[in-house]
Amino acid sequence: MSRETALAIAAAVNAGRSARVAVEAALAACEADQLNAVIRVHRTRALACADAVDAHIRSGARLPLAGVPIAVKDNMCIDGLPATCCSRMLEGYVAPYTATAVARLLEAGAIVVAQTNMDEFAFGSSNETSCYGPVKNPVDPSRIPGGSSGGSAAVVAAGYVPVSLGSDTGGSIRQPAGLCGCLGLKPTYGSVSRYGLIAFGSSLDQIGPFAANADDVAAVLAAMAGQDPLDATSAPRALSPATGEALRGARIGYVAAHAEGLQPAVRTALEATKARAQAAGATLVPVTLPHEKYAVATYYVIGTGEASSNLSRMDGIRFGHHAEAADLRQVYGKSRAEGFGAEAKRRIMLGTYVLSTGYYDAYYKKAQQVRRLICRDFEQAFASCDAILGPVSPTTAFKLGEKLSDPIQMYLSDIFTIATNLAGVPGLSFPTGRDDMGLPIGMQLQGPMFSDNKLLNMAKALG
C-alpha cells in the first residue's frame, strides 16, 4: 500500500497530477480492509470530489490538501452520509449537515474516502464496544488497536490513507496512535470546532488528526483549526507558531511517578526518549502533577455525567432506535435497552447517578473542584518547563478480549492521558520504537494551551 504523505500528495496534485491517483489507491485499500477498521467506503462520492479538485486546480487555484484522501471517525457528521457512532441506537441516521472540522478539510481540498470504526459513542479504550465488532491492530491482528478512535488509527498505521480524524475525550486519539504506531494529536480544547461532533463529554471532547508524520498532522491541524461561530466553546485565540529549533534550549519536564508500573519495554523507551531530548540540546526538568492520581476518578464522574446528559436525547422519540411499547415510559425504556450496548448503559447509569439530587454535590461538584486543582498543577508545571514528556499507555497493545470483562482495568488504560483533557491542554502521541514482540510504543508530549505546533516540532526532532 502507498505510504505517500499528505503533503506529497497535495504537492503533486497542485502540480497537475490527477487527484484520482491517490483517491483510487485509498479506496482500494479501504475496500480490501481486513482489520474491521472501515465501516463504510464512499467510492462514488470520493471520485466526484476528486474530479472537482482537479477542475479547481485547472482553474488556477491551489489547495493546501489538494487530493488528500482522508478517513473520518463515525461520530462526525458529513452531509448525506450515515453517522451512527457505531451504535444500534443511531442505525439509519443520516447527517443533515457537515461538521465544521470536516468541512474545513474539504475546503482545503481533502477528500473523504471512508468512515471508520470506533467504540460505541466513543465509550471505550480498546475499540471492542462497536456494534460492528472490534477493530484489529494492524501490527498484530490478535490485539486491540486502542480506543475509542481505533479505526482511525488503524487505517493510518496500515497505510490505507495518509491522514484520518478521530476524537479524544480522555485519550481516544493518543492511546490508539501509540498502540498502532502513528502520530495522534489531541489539540488544545477550543482550538478545533466541535460543531458536528456527536457529543460524549462536551467539556472534554476534541477533534484531532492521525498521520504517519508530524508535518502532515500540522497541515491538517492548520486547515481545520480556528474559531467557529457555530461552536460557543471555540477559542478566538490562534495556535502559537513553532519557531526556532525544536529542542535546543527547551526545558522538557518529566514526572518521576510516570516511570512506575510500566511494562519494562515502555520504561526503556521512555528513558531512551529522554536521552534523545538531552542529546538534541534540551534540559530535563523534574515536575510534579500532585493531583493527577485523582484524574481517572474525576474523569469518570465528569465524563459520565456529561455523557448521560448528552445521550438523554437518544430516547427513541427525538433521536435513535424506536421500539414499540404500550406507553411512552415503556417506549423510552425499551428503545434505550435495545439501542445501547453494555458499556454505554454502564456510563449512562453512572452519569445519571452522579447528577441526581442528593449526589450532585458529593460527586459531580467535587469532581469539578478536583479538576480545577489538576488544571492548576499543569499551570505550575509549565511555569518551569516548555512541555512534559511521558508515556501514553502503561503497556503495549493487549489481546482482544483480555480486559473486556474488567471495566476498571480497561479504564486504567488511559491513566496517563485523561488529565490532558481535564486541563484542556494539547497532548501529542508519537511513536518511539517497539517491544520485543514488535508492538509499537508511543510517548506523549503535553504542553501549555495553544502550543500544539511546538509539540509537533518537538516530536519531529525526537523521531
Catalytic residues: 73, 148, 172
Q: What angle do CA 17, 460, 9 make, to 5 degrees?
A: 5
CA atoms within 13 Å, Cβ hemisphere of 414: 33
Whole-number Cα distances in Å, 92 to 46, 80, 105, 170, 449: 21, 12, 25, 28, 38
What b/e string do you get for 409-444 counting C-beta neighbours within 10 Å, with b at 16 or more?
Answer: ebbbbbbbbbbbbbbbbbbbbbbbeebeeebbbbbb
Q: Write out the H or E segment, with its range, that includes residue 423.
A: helix 418-423
| Residue located via cell numbers 504537492 | 11
Ranges of beta strands (E only) in 228-376 are 251-254, 283-286
Q: What angle do CA 65, 460, 380 make, to 5 degrees?
A: 110
DSSP 457: H
Question: Hey, what's the cell of 382?
Answer: 509549565
CA atoms within 13 Å, Cβ hemisphere of 207: 33
DSSP 293: G
Question: In angstroms, rounded to a whole number, what is the distance separating the alpha carbons of residues 118 and 97?
Answer: 21
Q: Is 286 exposed, middle or buried, given 0-12, 13-18 or 19+ CB atoms closer than 10 A?
A: exposed
DSSP 132: T
DSSP 361: I
DSSP 258: G
Question: In angstroms, rounded to a whole number, what is the distance separating the alpha carbons of residues 155 and 163?
Answer: 8
